[in-house]
Structures are given as structure tokens and as C-alpha cells.
Structure 1
Amino acid sequence: MKTNNIKSAGKMLSVLECFSTVDRRLSLADVARRTKLPRSTAHRLILTLKEIGFLEQDHSRDEYRLGIKLFELGSIVLANMDVHRVAKPYVDALSTLSRETVHLCVFDGMKMVFIERGAGGRSGPNNATTTMEASPCHCTGVGKAALAFQSDLVIDRVLGMGLPAYTRNTLTDPDRLREDLASIRQRGYAIDDGEIDIGVRCVAAPIRNTSGHVFAAVSVSGPATRMTHERVQSLAPVVMSHAESISLQLGYSNGDSAMAPVPTTPIT
């Protein structure tokens, strides 16, 4: 019975995972095709998820979308995450210091999940509010900063999922990406040079938990016209020091680190 329950839960999870920020609404046929489940089974699972509030139906289109109940549960998870509470002042400090957008993300084993986004005070499309959404590891600053410090097994798994090109700068060759990850481990920070958005440049650093395992990352990103290569180099040690401070607050200790002070002067 326990095995059957696990299988049923897995099937329901596969239905929920069909949806994304791109595929916000899906029909029954879409879900059945993506999950490779019989149409009747997909329909039964959808009805169950709808009944408990995990899915909602758009009757005008006969399509489904993720339900508000998931947002409520996600908000509880977010509020209970130590890294979210601990990192908030450092995210705000980096936003003030850099006057650019700051992202705090957690590695879920396959991709990066945004849990905090701080606006840097400048006008433009990069200013945003706190949100929860996912991004790939192979072409984002936070993703590469986290992935570089994972085991070979985890890196192989992520690379095995494919390296789709988002821009002409995306690293789609596994060997080249591995070389980049090795460089990140050596210098301590990652750079996204227009790899997911051709007009945006980013610098990111890893965050460690009590045991020293890298499970998150923080980044500063902005238009490439402002985030020049020289500015990225000047921001890199600041981003690393704030990531280190978050790690220390979470219980990590490397024996000789001090927490970064709250900055008062923006870096231009």
C-alpha cells in the first residue's frame, strides 16, 4: 500500500511540474503528453489536485493553472527558511552598494530557485520585487556559483539534463562548462556574461551551510552597459564577502572570516 501511495504522489508531482513561468496554463492533453500518462489517469490526477486547491481551472479555455494553495504553502516555506531571514539585510546592503539588482537563490539539485530579489534603486527592467521562480544552472551567475562546488555526481546529473542555448554566449559544450566551473572554484565567484540574457552581466558567489556545503548563491546583475568587465571585477570581492557573511550567520566557520560590514558608499 505504501508503494502505491508513493507512486500516486509521484504522478501528482509530475503533473504539477508540467507548469512553469512560461507554461502557465495547460490543457488535459498537454499534461497527458508531458507526463506520458494515459489521458484518463492524467484527468483523475488533475481532478484530485483541483479538489485540494493545487490546481485551478480556467473554464473559458478548458485549461488548468497552479492553484493559490501552492502559493500559500510556498510562502510558509519561504518564511521558515533560515537563509531567507538571515540573508535579507545582506541582500539589501548589496542592492544599496551596487545600485543594481541582487538575487538570492537556493540550489534544489537541478536548478536555482529565486527566494529573494532586491532592487538596486535604478529605473529599468532589472528592478523587481521578491519572487519565487526557477532558473537554469549552466548559464546564470547564481547557478554556476552553486554548481561549481557540487560533487561530480551532481554536476554530471545537471549537465546530463542538457545545456540549451539562451544566447550566443551560453556555454553549451559540457567540456567548456566544466572548465568554467573549475575556474569558479579557483577564484571563488562566477560570472554570467550575457549567457541567459545578452544584455545583462552578473557576478555571483556561493553560500554555505553549517557543514560547509554550498546550497545557495547571491549575485549582483545589471545591464552590460553599466556592469562593465572592470565593474564586475570591483564588485566580485564585495559579493564574495557578503556571501561569506551570510554563510557565517548560518553557522558555517572556516576559522578566519569576519562578517562584512554594512556598506555606506555605492560602488560605481
Structure 2
Amino acid sequence: MSQSLLKAVGLLDCFHSKSELSLIELVEMSQLPKTTVFRLVLSLEEAGLLVRVKRSSHDVKYRMGLKLLELGNRVSEQLEYRKIALPYMKQLNEKLNELIHMVAIEGNEAVYVEKLDSSKPVRLVIKVGKRSPLYAGSGPKMLLASMDDAVLNNYLEQLEIQAITENTITSKEALLEEIAKIRERGYSVSKAEHFKDTVGFSFPIKNYNGTTLAALGISIPITDYSKDKEEVIIEEIRKTAQHISTLLGYSG
């Protein structure tokens, strides 16, 4: 990451204790050279991330700009579905006693943004914040299959597939076939592609305009797998994902 960007973010962090800071205060708090701070402040001001407050020629301070509020609201809106989904994820977790997880796209990766553990002695453990390639695992593959074709093609052009387990899809041709299957049936299945000895199932969470915001998934130990259990899990997660999507305004 650019050192200048890191330093600029560090300057914004200085405002955690005071709403307005002078250039001298920013120099002291950041421990950066005055010329560096001045240059970064000008850039942040130009971007709308800092605003100059000039009360006199000798009293000039800076405060955080409304652009940050706008960006924060966008992040909040993007993750609002977590709050809406969580009670229904808990119900699903209590009913099935299996790992329930939710993943969303960030860049070219899937990120686990919520999860509820199983109480079984043998179970998969996933931490919120864990990242995964989009080609491995039921949730990530569901997100991949939900991409527009133009975005998907761009992703595939840059993709370098690395096997995570012996079951990971390792060719783009096979991945395209898998995406076609997911789109046709409306959900994704993973059999030990990302986590060994684990089977996963995921459905999309959609908003009012049909955009897939996240993938809701269930993962079980492969030793617990049976065709009958698969049918039960798919039906339960389908109903839950559809209900959450309805609450988010989806009517498809």
C-alpha cells in the first residue's frame, strides 16, 4: 500500500480526540515532518475529507469533511443486511445446530461478515473477517455466479487459480461450468473445496433491485452428510434467504 496513503489515513485518525486540529497539532500528533503534513492536508482537503476552518489569519484549523460521512453511510447501508439477517440466522442455527455463515464480496475476494457456530464437538470454525478466493466454497462461488457477465469475465481474465484442497476447482473451464450450474439451480454447493471434510450450501441474499448483497450458507462435517440431510438443509436455507431478501425489498 502507498506510504502516502497510510500517512494520510494516520492524519485522519488524529481527529479521534478533537474535532478540530491545527497544522501544528497534526504535526505533533502524527510525528511527521511539517512539509509532509502540509502536503497531505492539502490533498485531503481537495478530496473533501478535511475542511479548513479559518477564523483569522493566525487561527486556522481543520476538521473532518462531510465526504467521510457520505462514505460512512455507504458502508453502513451495505452492511445493514447483517442486522436484518442475524435474527433469522440465529433461528436457523438453533433449528439445525450447524455453522451458519454469511459472506460478501470485497474486491476480488469473499469476506465472512457474520457467522454462528454449531455446538457439535466436530465442527468447522470460521472467524468473521476471514477472506476467501471467490472460486472455492459455497458462499464465495454463489457470489461469483451472481456477478454480471462483464464483471465475471474481467475477474476470470485476471484469475490465477491455486488449489486449496484436492477438491478445489482448478481450471477456468470447470469453474464456468460450475457457475452455469449455480445459476440454473439458484444455489451453490461445495464439497471440501475450501475446507477439508466439510460440505457447504449457500443461497443469495438480494436487495430491492435484485442485486446480490451477500451469500447465506450452512456448512456441515462431511461425516454428517447424507442426501436426506442435504434436502432438509437446502429447503431451510432457501426459505431463510428468501425471507431476508424479502425484508430487504426483493420481490422476485
Q: Normalization by structure 2: what TM-score?
A: 0.68
The alignment status of 1:146 with 2:110, answered yes or no, reads no
Q: Give the 3 Å change call, closer, same or farther, for CA 187–153 of structure 1 in structure 2.
A: same
The alignment status of 1:173 with 2:188, answered yes or no, reads no
Structure 1 residue identity aligned to 2:142: A
Q: Which residue of 2 aligns with 1:157?
A: 154
Structure 2 residue identity aligned to 1:92: K
Q: Give the 3 Å change call, closer, same or farther, for CA 137–230 of structure 1 in structure 2.
A: farther
Using the TM superposition, give the Cα deviation of residue 97 of structure 1 relative to its aligned residue in structure 2, in angstroms.
Answer: 2.0
Q: Which residue of 1 aligns with 2:112?
A: 114
Deviations 1:16-41 (A, max 9, x none): xxxxxxxxxxxxxxxxxxxxxxxxxx
Once the two structures are superposed, the pairs formed by residues 40-59 of structure 1 within 5 Å of their partners are: 45-50=5-10, 52-53=12-13
Q: Secondary structure at the match of 1:103?
A: strand
The range that moved more, 187-196 or 109-118, is: 109-118
Q: Select 1:235's aligned residue among 226, 233, 243.
A: 233
Using the TM superposition, give the Cα deviation of residue 182 of structure 1 relative to its aligned residue in structure 2, in angstroms.
Answer: 0.9
Q: Which residue of 2 aligns with 1:201?
A: 199
Partners of 2:191 and 2:199 within 8 A in 1: yes
Higher strand share: 2
Using the TM superposition, give the Cα deviation of residue 134 of structure 1 relative to its aligned residue in structure 2, in angstroms.
Answer: 2.1
Using the TM superposition, give the Cα deviation of residue 89 of structure 1 relative to its aligned residue in structure 2, in angstroms.
Answer: 1.1
Please give the alpha-carbon distance, in whole angstroms, between the structure 1 residues aligned to 2:119 and 2:212.
29
Q: Secondary structure at the match of 2:176?
A: helix
Count of residue pairs the alignment pairs up: 194
Q: Which residue of 2 aligns with 1:213?
A: 211
Using the TM superposition, give the Cα deviation of residue 216 of structure 1 relative to its aligned residue in structure 2, in angstroms.
Answer: 0.9
Once the two structures are superposed, the pairs formed by residues 5-154 of structure 1 within 5 Å of their partners are: 15=1, 45-50=5-10, 52-53=12-13, 77=75, 81-127=79-125, 131-154=128-151
Partners of 1:98 and 1:220 within 8 A in 2: no
Deviations 1:90-131 (A, max 9, x none): 1111211221111111223522222110112223452566x2
Unaligned runs of 5+ in 2: 15-70
The alignment status of 1:182 with 2:206, answered yes or no, reads no
Higher helix share: 2
Deviations 1:37-79 (A, max 9, x none): xxxxx5555555455559xxxxxxxxxxxxxxxxxx99x9569
Q: Normalization by structure 1: what TM-score?
A: 0.64
Using the TM superposition, give the Cα deviation of residue 242 of structure 1 relative to its aligned residue in structure 2, in angstroms.
Answer: 0.9
Unaligned runs of 5+ in 1: 1-14, 16-41, 55-72, 255-268
Deviations 1:171-229 (A, max 9, x none): 11111111111111111110111001121110111111110122211000021111344
The range that moved more, 152-161 or 93-102, is: 152-161
Q: Secondary structure at the match of 2:165?
A: coil
Using the TM superposition, give the Cα deviation of residue 135 of structure 1 relative to its aligned residue in structure 2, in angstroms.
Answer: 1.7
Using the TM superposition, give the Cα deviation of residue 158 of structure 1 relative to its aligned residue in structure 2, in angstroms.
Answer: 2.6
Please give the alpha-carbon distance, in whole angstroms, between the structure 2 residues aligned to 1:114 and 1:146.
12
Please give the alpha-carbon distance, in whole angstroms, between the structure 2 residues aligned to 1:93 and 1:157.
38
Structure 1 residue identity aligned to 2:144: L
The percent of aligned pairs where both chains have the same amino acid is 26
